[in-house]
Structure 1
Amino acid sequence: MLKEYLQKNNISVYKLSKKSDVPYSTLNDLVNLKLPVENIRAGQLKSIAYALDVEMDELYNLCIYRKKVFSERYNVYGDVLIRQKSFYIVFCQSGKKYTREVMPVKHESTLYIDILAQWKLDEELSKLELEAAYESLHF
């Protein structure tokens, strides 16, 4: 993630803002996952990439939030993504792809998103299991 990259390289958001000529508020929202990289103008992304001395595709990968979670109970992996200022869990079950909202992106939620996404994945898989059992009883 971009936040870790900046910390690892001892670059503040303020310093990056000055070096790239991208407004501090825009960079701060990008770094804190409040602004999807898709909503930033290409010229601004190019300036950020140049200021960080990275390629555009590397910058894009730094700005994308993606984590894996695993349900031991159902033996299913899910991806945690950010879309429209919310965390979502995306997973496949019985050949179908599901996307469910976990919670809005807030500072507190980023601290516990792994645990919350794991819980949401188990909850959704449990619901699907119940629906499948119900359908098999009625048909």
Structure 2
Amino acid sequence: MDTNVPHTICDAEEKDIIINILMDKSYFTASMLGQLSSNSIISDFILEAISHDRLHNRFLLFHCQNSDKLGSHVENLLCEFYEPSFCSKDIINAYMVLIFAEMLRHFQTDNNCKSANGKQNPILDILLYMEENFQSCTL
């Protein structure tokens, strides 16, 4: 969900587990976004979510409830978060990329469509340049 999207949770059953992962906009660096598939629905959504001039009222829904991999990735991410050790931040970032990639697989399967256009969003190129050249970058 984007920032400030009103939402509610339907009645949960006794064995349901609800996990809410909140990410600050600063988490999404150019290198993090670059690790996601070029022109993916997730990277496009994130780029719009972190922009200041957009109405923030969107969400994406992925039907991943039958994914054993996704459950395993989330479980491992939570273990790293709650029991941090050496390189935990890097490992958490890697799990986030795996989680986004697994969600993209399910999205692609659900829609039975493959992106024929491998063109990368130009904003990613600009953000990556700024991140790599922050000391000398000018307008």
**TM-score of Structure 1 vs Structure 2, range by shorter chain:** under 0.3
Q: Hey, which of these two has a bigger chunk of helix by percent?
A: 1
Larger radius of gyration: 1
Question: Per chain length, whose mean CA-contact separation is higher, i.e. which structure has more relative contact order (CA < 8 Å, sep 6+)?
Answer: 2
TM-score for both structures, normalised by structure 1 = 0.26
TM-score (norm 2): 0.26
